Chain A
């Protein structure tokens, strides 16, 4: 039997207080949520997915991570989270060091939930802080201000050992000086984990239509590259090692759940628009995707116990692509399985050589890794390696 993959569960909560202009997540502003119906739907889809997982694999279902993402899952009624976690306990064998994360927005209204979350088993909080600069927060259309962030983090540190925060940079007008300022404030929090994203203009967002009309909503690529290098250097000198393109962690504080994605491990995707993947045998992978619209998903689950829209076995070439696309995001790189590297139809060996010569990647036996120099070119590297 091949080495068993790690397994996680992702739960998507698709609601937010307001819609941020840059956001392309499956998130909606909705006042009246029927708590009972939603709870019932999550539980029934969870059972359904666990079932498929068992049918398709012969592994014991040891669960390593649970991740409540959104949307704004910190707005979830605690009762739903509680029932979900109970059901998970019933369906899976929990790993002793299981990581249970909730994404949270740092607005005051949600803070009350935090201690309740802790009491039902949540052990990691990830705040969407986004910025410590008031102008930037306004530009990003966030519903909170910097004081909310300080307050929220204060509460969180009193409750959790693992506290992460997300930040966005690369907005117009930002420069080395201003971002360095912000970074120095970020460091003072003593977070265990930091995600720092370059602002991306995603299709379908308000920012997208504004940029189509000619508005400049990000700073230029050269500046972003400088800001990126600065981020990595500053964070590293304060004990946050980069472990993925946009993720930095203190020792033993990497996000175990997100590592499942990048290491092409297994996870079940529950809730509207959630994706799931798991490996059935060495090179055969199952893939599920649920209906994106909250109402649509809800009514599907009510009818059929699940809201799955697509489920199938991935083509082996797609699986190969996914391993490379995701794995190369990790600074540690990945161990390519034999089936993938043995066959040059999945990977362009000439480019592999070329990139190694140019110092963009290292390649040793089956282990492949993108270097510091290659990191900012990852899209080109991946595209050339795979085409």
Chain B
């Protein structure tokens, strides 16, 4: 087998199962079907008698619905039915899983009822014989709207002169949340210096290449609703769907087939996931909906969208005394599944990888006439890391210190782990200094600084950006997760010795069919090709939570690991019985189970047969070989690392040339280095996309003006330099495999890294901060603004102003 040849096995012969496959660059088991185009995403399924549907969506951001006329749509040949909120009132609301004191949760019907609150909100649904007819008819649905005032700006939404997105609340404030610890007032009173910066974390579109899709079939005789959906959470969706359509949960089967990316956008329960199953039940025929890219921009959740005022209290020597932040977080018009949860993660991660004695984070959630925000790769942590890593650079600049030295002064020491942060988290394990040192070396930091110094003399503007991040992963302990934070794994050794793993994780590109097979192969002493990983079908797989929050391997993999341990104990009991020794004396490896001393052994397959034929089993031994484990993680994991970017800015045009990008990441032990690197590459690209190019812009009327791939700057291949990666390995004590998670690291690290690099390049010109994305126009304007700003204040003035706790900047803010 090619895979065997690729991973040159080194097997320790001391009788213990040695790492044989874990740590190897094994080619993915998923790939043959994907590279041949013979796998099946939801839209690839076609059922007998299947109908297609399309939605009529609101062109207004805020309007009263005065009347809906469906006659013209119904009259189009091939149209089967048209429904509005008058018909779908029985479908349960779109759920929000978040509960917190004072949280305002607006009613969120599957089709707009009485009023629309964002452009793209579904108003009617048309079912037809084919998708062309359905879309034609959706345009024939006539809706009389009476436009209402629109609010898209968060600060306006909180002012007195605003319209309310939801009249019943008499306010656009969805919630307030404060995280406070340590004597924050004293920290700022005693500070030698205070640095302060406002930073906008712009709204982004997740843009999974497969947009959403739902296919539903209802068989009344069996009372069986089967729904294929492009989702990251098939089990949670099954539960919510049964509530929405009013069927017992036992009658609902959800299948997440091949899923073409999610990045958090499919960690949700959407209107269409209520409507399409209901249509299949109502019409007695299978119904499919495939989202268009335009719909994907308008009506699939967005990410980020926060305004942040961050302050850091400092001692002269660069020690951090305290941090304050006031964050406005845009919820959009409604809460989707986890909308209000995301900013809570932002608050928690504001300690970054630093020792901060006092902190206060105040967050206000705000309703506006826009699509909901929710989890997008990183989900709250990129926002926190951006605030922290930017303010660290600004602080270093103001203190006249190198950003690396400044960071080193404030890192906890390796011996301090597990390290409890001022925000109340317990970081499992880390050595921030080591990852930083390795990245500096890999990037050639000193040489970059020398070149920068020399370049400035010659009118060249080189910048070096450093970002030392920590993220919260393996989400998470159930107490911190709305729907439970555990994961399930069922391992079944089939009578032929082949192994099936049923995992509650629901991978959609992460390669867990391969990594989990590597893991089980080592544990059972077999070949990864003999392990088949099954996921995404709620009828086949015991209840699980799903794949998001870099939890697949650290939580789902651990569940599979523990289920395998249960089976190993059972195999050892039977082997000991057959070999005439004690179970504790059995070792497993290389396809055999051996008694101590190695003289007596039994082949794995033979033992499996014995467990199934059950002709000779010890008393009380349960025949068969299947075990399930529900793993409840005792803590999160906290991967970390250092990323360094080197850029050159053309000050005449504002164009940024990305010359070098280096990442040293620590995600604990690595199961498949090829897959880990791939996750980091993709993460960096998305984080860099936010820093440099991507931006969802709603105008004052609430129209999404960057709502197509023509207008939204999705990064292309030639935008990027080659990324240079390395890693350190600090195993996590949270799970026996010592893994941490790696899906979001690149996204979290790279955004501030890029902005730090560009601002560093332009600091001699007085540029202190530029809002993302760093388009040439923005950079150019920032340079011009800095150059026309008044001369910098003297240092004594700065100190006295700092003592009064006001903003200090060398020059006017860009």
A and B: real partners? no
Residues in A lying within 8 Å of B, measured CB to CB: none
